[in-house]
Homo-oligomer: A and B are copies of this chain.
Amino acid sequence: MNTMEHQSPTSLSALLDRLREQLGDNAVITGNDVTARSVDWLTGAPCLAAAIVRPGTPDELADILRLCHAARQPVVTHGGLTGLVHGTEASSEELVISLERLDAIEAIDPVGATLTVQAGAPLQKVQEAAEEAGLQFALDLGARGSCTIGGNIATNAGGNRVIRYGMMRQQVLGLEAVLADGCIISSMSPMLKNNAGYDLKQLFIGSEGTLGIVTRAVLRLQPAMPDTRAALVACPSFEALTGLLGHMRQTLGGELSAFEAMWRNHYRLLTEISGRHAPPLSTESPFYVIIESQAVDADRHGERFDQAFESAIEEGLLTDAAIAQSDAQRDGLWAIREDIEGLVSLLAPVMTFDVSLPIGDMDAYVEHVETMLREHWPSGRLVVFGHLGDGNLHLSVGVGSDDADTRHRVERCIYEPLADLGGSVSTEHGIGLEKRSWLHVSRTPEEIAVMATLKQALDSHSLLNRNKVITTDLQDAH
């Protein structure tokens, strides 16, 4: 859909001139410097935007949006570009706003356990700053070195420790965002509790930059947990796997910080078949789990951890366990689970999916998906792992091709069964462009209508990440 007919090339170049004038030449990138950049990590495709604008302060970002709003210029926001749903794609008629210069950690309050940060700061930088202050930032995911706090907020990121600390939404106390018209909404309260009117920050968390651009946040920090224990275990059945989850929740209580299940097809591919990792346990079990626990008291925590596994063996919930005895061993276990590069290369061209469904339905669901995929692509490959305690599975599919038609047929196998199960087509990756046509599987027409109402109320010209998440009727916008 070409929505820019009303705008002549002159006006775009006039806008860029105006932006250079206001922000300095260095803040506006055009030409080869744009296409030399990738639009995201997964596709590696060149950025096609008309230009990339890089504000140095939240006020500069507000200036940019004010000018773009006056010119009805649509923009796409870029953070760490680690998203998986084409949420950062930009057409030649769009401007990209990159938050790469907004990467400062502005303040840490060890007493209040908060950290104030700009949206472009990488997750790992925040984790390290929290550690230096004797605390921890609880969100953690494989892309920690590249992904940004702003992207984590815009997509309501999940990751490995949701079972204990919740998603990104739970880590955000205060937030600042700029609306499509350049108005700065500053809700930077560091308060854990604040019921003074509507909690506006919730609008911007998880709406993928379509309602506003996040510029700064006050994040909640957690007490440091100096003692981390991890183990890889083999489970004899899906029943044992869910029983083990209940067992670990009960015996480790609030200390359980990860319960990451791997179907045999995942574990075996990344160890035995590919040789990318030495298998810590033999590969014939149907399920494997990385279990992690974090506590403050090393000695007793070790005892509690070991006992939890001993009693699990007695109850037949696992058949074998490799308990990490060092940080290096622990990293080795996680390396299998986090080897997304391996997965992508082994299944290339890979299609990745991120769904949720009731835990009790997972085994049958995966079998059903596998059967359907086999029917169409007998030599295709399905690999399954996920955050079991969160009801969240990641499915990776390689069928030798990923053209639009193939992709759609694979998507049908994955998504259609979710409707009856009350599952979700997106659990932590978001909707972006990729899942927009499947939103109806998880959302009612009434829900989607309210989403459109919100978009219209806050961005009536649909200038922010246009047509991401939901399509917008632009009849009223011009």
Residues of A participating in the B interface, judged by any CB pair closer than 8 Å: 109, 111-112, 155-156, 158, 162, 164, 166-167, 169-170, 179, 183-200, 202-203, 205-207, 211, 223, 225, 242, 246, 249-255, 295-297, 300, 304, 356-360, 387, 389-392, 422-431, 435, 439, 442-444, 446-451, 453-454, 456-458, 469-470
Contacts of A198 in B (CB 8 A): 203, 206-207, 211, 450-451, 454, 469
The contact sample of 5 A-B pairs, CB cut-off 8 A, is: A189-B442, A192-B390, A197-B431, A202-B203, A454-B454
Partner of A195, one of B223, B357, B427: B427
**Beta-carbon contact of B356 and A186 below 8 Å:** no
**Beta-carbon contact of A193 and B442 below 8 Å:** no
When A162-B193, A198-B206, A250-B223 are in contact, do A186 and B446 touch as well, CB less than 8 Å?
A: yes
Complex Cα distance A203/B443, Å? 16
Measured CB to CB, the nearest residue on chain B to A301 is B253
Of A170, A223, A449, most buried by chain B (CB within 10 Å of CB) is: A223
**Beta-carbon contact of B450 and A185 below 8 Å:** yes
**Beta-carbon contact of A435 and B196 below 8 Å:** yes
Chain B's nearest CB lies how many Å from the CB of A261? 14
Chain B's nearest CB lies how many Å from the CB of A203? 8
A-B pairs with lowest CB-CB distance, top 5: A202-B202, A457-B457, A254-B254, A196-B442, A253-B296
Complex Cα distance A392/B193, Å? 7
Complex Cα distance A457/B211, Å? 14
Complex Cα distance A278/B44, Å? 71
**Beta-carbon contact of A356 and B156 below 8 Å:** no
**Beta-carbon contact of B242 and A111 below 8 Å:** yes
**Beta-carbon contact of B457 and A453 below 8 Å:** yes
Contacts of A359 in B (CB 8 A): 111-112
**Beta-carbon contact of A446 and B184 below 8 Å:** yes
**Beta-carbon contact of A428 and B112 below 8 Å:** no
Contacts of A197 in B (CB 8 A): 431, 439, 442-443, 447-448, 451, 469-470
Contacts of A456 in B (CB 8 A): 457
**Beta-carbon contact of B428 and A193 below 8 Å:** yes
Complex Cα distance A202/B458, Å? 16
**Beta-carbon contact of A196 and B457 below 8 Å:** no
Chain B's nearest CB lies how many Å from the CB of A459? 11
Measured CB to CB, the nearest residue on chain B to A458 is B453
Contacts of A387 in B (CB 8 A): 193
Contacts of A250 in B (CB 8 A): 223, 296
Chain B's nearest CB lies how many Å from the CB of A87? 11
Of A156, A199, A391, A450, most buried by chain B (CB within 10 Å of CB) is: A450
**Beta-carbon contact of A446 and B170 below 8 Å:** no
**Beta-carbon contact of B196 and A223 below 8 Å:** no
**Beta-carbon contact of A200 and B422 below 8 Å:** no
Contacts of A254 in B (CB 8 A): 164, 223, 253-255, 295
Excluding A156-B195, A185-B447, 14 further A-B contacts by CB distance (< 8 Å) are A111-B359, A179-B450, A190-B358, A190-B422, A191-B391, A193-B356, A193-B387, A194-B356, A194-B442, A195-B427, A195-B430, A195-B431, A453-B457, A456-B457
Complex Cα distance A185/B451, Å? 11
**Beta-carbon contact of A196 and B426 below 8 Å:** yes
**Beta-carbon contact of A199 and B206 below 8 Å:** yes
Contacts of A356 in B (CB 8 A): 191-194
Complex Cα distance A446/B185, Å? 6
Complex Cα distance A387/B195, Å? 15
Chain B's nearest CB lies how many Å from the CB of A361? 10
Chain B's nearest CB lies how many Å from the CB of A263? 19
**Beta-carbon contact of B183 and A446 below 8 Å:** yes
Complex Cα distance A274/B446, Å? 56
Chain B's nearest CB lies how many Å from the CB of A201? 9
Measured CB to CB, the nearest residue on chain B to A168 is B195
Complex Cα distance A454/B200, Å? 10
